[in-house]
Chain A
Amino acid sequence: MRQKTTAVLSAAALVLGMAGTAQAGTLEDVRDRGVLRCVVSTGIAGFAQPDANGVWGGFDIDFCRATAAAVLGDASKIEAVTSTGKTRFTKLNAGEGDVLWRNTTITFSRDVSVKLRFHGVNYYDGQGFMVKKDLGVSSASELDGASVCIQTGTTTELNLADYFSSNNMNYEPVPIETNDEARQNYEAGRCDVYTTDASGLASTRSALPNPDDHMVLPEIISKEPLGPATRHGDDQWSDIVTWVLNATITAEELGVTMANVDEMKGSNNPEVRRLLGVDGSQGSELGLSDDWAYQIIKQLGNYGEIFERNIGVNPPLGIARGLNALWTDGGLIYSPPFR
């Protein structure tokens, strides 16, 4: 009996040990598996949501697909590892996901203490205010005495308190838990103002019966740079994620789109030729095929196209580019050169 137990235990240890050695490099793991596992949110309108058939779509999901297009050549080969705000980092660090594309604000503690590696910003968010137009307010500085729907226990609550006290204004908080609850309270007139991240305001506004009766005020009172993350300890994989994001931005800077990418392969611009893998060997230096960026643009488009398709000015969400315009158009989106 004892011998049997020992045998079973050592067999189990052997299996676990073998599984343990499989984590040599994320790139090889993804290639062997044939599927890229992205840690994504359980649902944020426009950024990650399943459609009626369960197919995931959205701004963050498209970047996950872009990564799959670069690594595996096929944007459909993704698996969404759904995670809440509380479980996302452990899922990534425990190896249940390969990369995190999940509305995650880059902060010092996440970068350093949680041991993540961030790879640039794919969306500049920030806390804003939404009001009814007939309130006659055009700036957040006129909100003295307003009742404000606010999610309790979040950084938005602290930002709000700071903003009002530094401007010598008072407000009456109406505590709420979720976005839907906020919308219902706001719709029923229990608060004059709803404050959360600007992307959340846009989706809340579009869900109102008459979105045109409401406006998002121009002030943004906090910095929420959202970007992808990977685990510490795999520099090659980190480089890949960094340059997937940069490739979509560079493509927009250079005017390469989903429609003209084949034609652009014959371009004389050396940067376009390097990006699309016509000249140079940037792909193989990353450990990918040389047409990796071509596959991204061909299957998903450049940064601007991904933005417009999921959250852009067209309904339903209708978010303006704002800070997320290219640096040449007055925004902050900027890619280091491909050279």
Chain B
Amino acid sequence: MSETPTNPRYAPGTHPDLPPPRRTTGALGWVRSNLLSSPLNVALTLLSVWLLWTILPPSIHWLFTGAIWTAVDRKECWALMDAPRDGACWAFIRGSFELFVYGWYPEPERWRVNLTFILFIAAIVGGLRENIPGKKYWLIFAAAYPFIAAWLLLGGFGLEPVGTNKLGGILLTLVVAVTGISFSLPLGIALALGRRSNLPALRGVCVIFIEFIRGVPLITLLFVASTMLTYFLPPGSTFDLLMRVLIMVTLFASAYIAEVVRGGLQGLSSGQYEAADALGLSYWKAHRLVILPQALKISIPGIVNTFIGSFKDSTLVLIIGMMDILGLGRARLNDPEWLGLAPELYIFISLFFFISCFAMSRYSLNLEKKLQTGHKS
């Protein structure tokens, strides 16, 4: 830093730090450097402002200020607005909200659904947080959670039994997605290990399974579950439709997880395998203590990607007539009292999917940061 001639009183090296030039700091500086730094950026900024100006006010008006929250039917809803379709008719969603969440789950038993959901949060937080007291018990609880949830939702053993056909709406979506996600991970890891195994028979079975499942669309498997299987089983025997669908969704997701995990296994340097062998660890010990922790860590983005994909794929069950949130919502669109409110419904459903998927992706970012132990080369 050169000395300023106007302030000769400072001895060399003792000049205090001056604040940065005012034009480069604060809101103004931010706008200059981020929005107006070049003629192209000025043009793009102006275009964006114009776009926002044309899109935002009408959207806010439609979504919020012009929207109707209480009405008995669409006619009343539209009569309350300046003109039909001038605002959203959220009264439609509000009136069916409980149906959208619980489906046909009997009303006096709905506390079980709520409890299942609370335990779900507890299992996720407890199972995945690092510094939590009693970590071992949380892990056991998280592993047992799917079975606890099945018991709570379907009943038996002291609880009023509830048929799987009573599940619907968001509840059914979550059941399909969470089951697919939580069972596909262990199955996928097993398949990935099997595919890299030295036993030809085991490797062959795993390769055929993975390639077969990845070679057909999920919708084909769902059709097999809903229609073909009933032809193979003896006439009159019923094998619960939801169960068939859950199995298919899990198998489908596990084939993809297997390939993601295999990528992680191959991403490890062979030195890790050799080091584990050199320590005299058995196959299982080597994988449990050395290989899998590292391989899974690098697979996290791919695994979560598959999870988010299968979460959204769960809506395909509507094609075989199951009433998940999308199927049930579309059925409600046909209520003669509320016809013509498709935009409201689809916005509501996309909000649900956005929140769920965004939460999953943020969580995976968080997990990656936490597990970042500096192996990056």
Chain B residues numbered 330-352 whose CB sits less than 8 Å from any CB in chain A: 330-337, 339-340, 342
Query: A271 in the interface, Cβ–Cβ < 8 Å?
Result: no
On whether the beta carbons of A207 and B238 are closer than 8 Å, the reply is no
Query: A138 in the interface, Cβ–Cβ < 8 Å?
Result: no
Interface bits A77-112 vs B (CB < 8 Å: 1, else 0): 001011110110011001110000000000000000
On whether the beta carbons of A316 and B319 are closer than 8 Å, the reply is no
| Listed stretches B60-68, B96-104, B368-376; interface member | B96-104
Q: List the A residue with the shortest CB-CB distance to B346.
A: A180
On whether the beta carbons of B237 and A19 are closer than 8 Å, the reply is yes
Residue numbers in A under 8 Å from B337 (CB-CB): 316
B164–chain A nearest beta-carbon distance, Å:
12
Residue numbers in B under 8 Å from A51 (CB-CB): 335
Q: List the B residue with the shortest CB-CB distance to A183.
A: B340
Residue numbers in A under 8 Å from B249 (CB-CB): none
Q: List the A residue with the shortest CB-CB distance to B337.
A: A316
A209–chain B nearest beta-carbon distance, Å:
3
On whether the beta carbons of A45 and B238 are closer than 8 Å, the reply is no
On whether the beta carbons of A52 and B96 are closer than 8 Å, the reply is yes
On whether the beta carbons of B334 and A86 are closer than 8 Å, the reply is no
On whether the beta carbons of B227 and A82 are closer than 8 Å, the reply is no
The answer, among A43, A79, A81, A96, for a CB contact under 8 Å with B230, is: A96
The answer, among B233, B237, B331, B335, for a CB contact under 8 Å with A82, is: B331
Chain A residues numbered 172-198 whose CB sits less than 8 Å from any CB in chain B: 180, 183-184
Q: List the A residue with the shortest CB-CB distance to B226.
A: A87
Interface bits A210-244 vs B (CB < 8 Å: 1, else 0): 10000000000000000000000000000000000
| Listed stretches A20-28, A125-133, A159-167, A285-293; interface member | A20-28
On whether the beta carbons of B237 and A20 are closer than 8 Å, the reply is yes
On whether the beta carbons of A43 and B330 are closer than 8 Å, the reply is yes
Interface size of B in residues (CB-CB distance below 8 Å): 45
Query: B357 in the interface, Cβ–Cβ < 8 Å?
Result: no
Q: List the B residue with the shortest CB-CB distance to A37.
A: B165
> How far is A134 from B331 in the complex, measured between Cα atoms in Å?
32
Interface bits A23-37 vs B (CB < 8 Å: 1, else 0): 100000000000000
Chain A residues numbered 133-182 whose CB sits less than 8 Å from any CB in chain B: 180
Q: List the A residue with the shortest CB-CB distance to B322.
A: A82
Query: B95 in the interface, Cβ–Cβ < 8 Å?
Result: yes
Residue numbers in B under 8 Å from A43 (CB-CB): 330-334
Query: A264 in the interface, Cβ–Cβ < 8 Å?
Result: no
| Listed stretches B47-55, B77-85, B136-144, B307-315; interface member | B77-85
Query: B241 in the interface, Cβ–Cβ < 8 Å?
Result: yes
B319–chain A nearest beta-carbon distance, Å:
6
Residue numbers in A under 8 Å from B336 (CB-CB): 45-46, 49, 203, 206, 316-317
A291–chain B nearest beta-carbon distance, Å:
30
Residue numbers of A with Cβ under 8 A of B are: 16-17, 19-23, 42-46, 48-54, 79, 81-84, 86-87, 90-91, 94-96, 180, 183-184, 203, 206-210, 315-317
Besides A52-B335, A86-B223, A180-B333, 16 other A-B contacts (C-beta < 8 A): A20-B235, A22-B236, A42-B318, A42-B323, A43-B334, A45-B336, A49-B331, A52-B95, A54-B104, A83-B321, A84-B318, A87-B227, A91-B321, A94-B230, A180-B340, A207-B340
Between-chain CB contacts (< 8 Å), 19 pairs: A19-B234, A42-B323, A42-B330, A43-B330, A43-B332, A49-B331, A49-B334, A51-B335, A54-B103, A86-B223, A90-B226, A90-B231, A91-B321, A95-B235, A96-B230, A96-B241, A207-B340, A209-B83, A209-B84
